[in-house]
Structure 1
Amino acid sequence: MTLTIGELADEIFGSEAPFALAAYDGSRGGNPNADIVLKLKTERGLRYLVTAPGELGLARAYVQGDLDIDGIDQGDPYDLLVRAKDKLAPKIPDPRRLADIVRTLGPRMFVPPELPAQENPPGWRRLAEGARHSKARDAQAIAHHYDVSNRFYELVLGPSMAYTCACYPSQGATLEQAQEFKFDLVCRKLGLRPGMRLLDVGCGWGGMVRHAVKNYGVRALGVTLSGEQAAYGQEWIEREGLGDLAQIRHGDYRDVTESGFEAVSSIGLTEHIGVKNYPAYFGFLAERLVSGGLLLNHCITSPNTAWGQITKGGFINRYVFPDGELAPVGTIIGAMADQGFEMRHAEDLREHYARTCREWARNLSANWEAAVAEAGPGTARIWGLYLSGSSLGFERGEIQLHQVLGQKVGPGGVAPYPLRPSFGS
């Protein structure tokens, strides 16, 4: 006998699943009382699920519009992801039913459909773009994620255009207040004072540069691989009359030839450079600093050494951060120490990033129609999955966010630092 798609879903997920399923053949399955309904609209969607069971198949069907989700805020599948993580336990079908399942699917269902245009091939197939973390391949990876559309980022990030973990000074703080506090915390950790020179690598749209120049009187150079970010940030600087003190440069951090900086901030860049490149990265930044200069490294980290790279073949790697890699904070501290940095302070802000991602996801949902008009429905859906999933990951400690403050030690161990830092909490 053949099964309906709804009966097939019941074989795998059972009637206690955290969702109901409504399929294109008119059948239903899953939990009939669930308030979240997955609507499988096409045969192509089922083929995605069959040929790539798990997150990739679901993502492909959702991104292509073959799978819709009713019962959630548009573009914000956080509630579904929480329930799936807590309550979804796929079953191995009864062997006696395997013949019926295969007969229901038929041979065509095991032929993969075309991949969504937004999906990157696995790393081993991207060799034509250059070796992993070569300048050319890094530029392509950054363009994939950051050159979506400045307007799209405005809709998601809000007025600050800060696309890194905020730091909430209180429970009642807004996202904008938390982003302002984060930049100020970095400035205070670096001990910025008027007349100092700051290098901000991976500067994004220039939020850190602008804050440091306006509030601490430094001269600042920001560098980003994204052409759209650089143009936007430099225009913002000129509009605020900061052009004599600040510059946003489009280029690779490895092409910075200036040195003699008293401070370096690296906020959200280390995830993109590759773990094997940490020694060269921190060595390069040490060369840019004066003796006794400070480096603040702010990046996503993994909870342990077994965690490894950002899921090599999974959703994040294919759709969001091609070639992204994470390491435990201890690996980062060790790499910095090996390049002559003395660690002065480290802290984990993962709860802050969970909240930041939730705020971004809510912004996306609130501006859904405009976001879709700007970037297309597929890209908007990718961002909804990415932000909701990331928030959940930070909440549960599956990923973390560390700020590490290191000081370049001079000859004879000279590294002047206050007896007690003044940046507080």
Structure 2
Amino acid sequence: MDDPVDLTPLRAMLEQRDLDGYLIDADGSNSDQRYVSGFTAPDPYQTLVARDGVHLLVSGLEFGRAQSDSAADSVSRLSAYDYHERRAEHGRNEGMIRTLAAFLSDHNVDTVAVPQEFPTGTADGLREQGVTVTAETEGVVQKIRATKTPWEVNQIRATQRANEAAMAAAETLVASADVEDGVLVRDGTPLTSERVKEEIEITLLRHGCGLDETIVACGADAADPHNRGSGHLAAGEFIVIDIFPQDKETGYAGDMTRTFARGDPGEEARRRYAVTEAAYEAGLEAVEAGVTGAAVHDAVCDVIEDAGYETLRSDPDADTGFIHSTGHGVGLDVHEEPRVSPSGGELEPGHVISIEPGIYDPAVGGVRIEDLIVVTEDGYENLTDYRVALDPTTE
């Protein structure tokens, strides 16, 4: 990460609680681990935030790369603390615990805070070695991560550019398909959700990004917000395409949803699309530093409810209408702080959030529109550059 990570709130928490350090024990898929260490590896390693800096404990296999790539003040290998001898004498698990305890002692750390997901076995083992381990339940690192540096915003922007290319590839498939007996057909074969997902994934790979899953959902499938979609794509039905890739090198995510219909989906469906687009615009207009995520969510609900559709605000048990929150933070995780929801707190400059209202009903289908934006001092910057239109085009 080019911009330095500001761990001031974490250090303030340690000082307030009179703790010597903060310890993370996880592999690089853990976003807090990756963020604090500035490093990623497929096997677990340890990151210690102590009074004198950030220190890593890694295997010999990762030592050289950690020295060159990480943001840590020091990097130690397991062998520096006699790991192999300890493992031979005490077994793999206890040998690792004793090695970690020696590493902590070397940095004058007797008391540590750990994240909630910290391994129980490691915590109990350290306690047996005389280390005081306290679970930190406020998510202090997640809160730090919520405010992006300019470098991070640029990485998210780059991922969103790849996302737009993937959306364009998907839209082109839908727009250029023939219609036969109410089904979209391409090259004589029915166009399926799976075929569109394949094109999305190939396009993302060519832009250095990837994803585990994406959403291409048609008709009643689109009425379930997290239904990934499957099978033939139909004419005259909503097709919700939601793509949320991550850059393979930096780990930063993007997120965007568009809804298309090839052929006329009907008057009621078009009305729902228009209401969703108006709610999306209202959500964007409500965003500025100092407002709460809850207030932005309310602005979206106002539009949808005024149009006669249910929301979870008007009916917490609703299973049609607007049945999710307005948005969420995006960064190293596709879903992270802050929240644009009934419980969403104050938005700050540097927060990257999605705005994604939708209206859902299996009898009509689902519609959702989503952009990714960064909160600024005087409003927001839209990180998404892709038209909002119901009818797909090859332009």
TM-score (ref. length: structure 1): 0.26
Identify, as 1 or 2, the structure richer in strand. 2
Bigger relative contact order (CA 8 A; separation at least 6)? 1
Identify, as 1 or 2, the structure richer in helix. 1
TM-score (ref. length: structure 2): 0.27
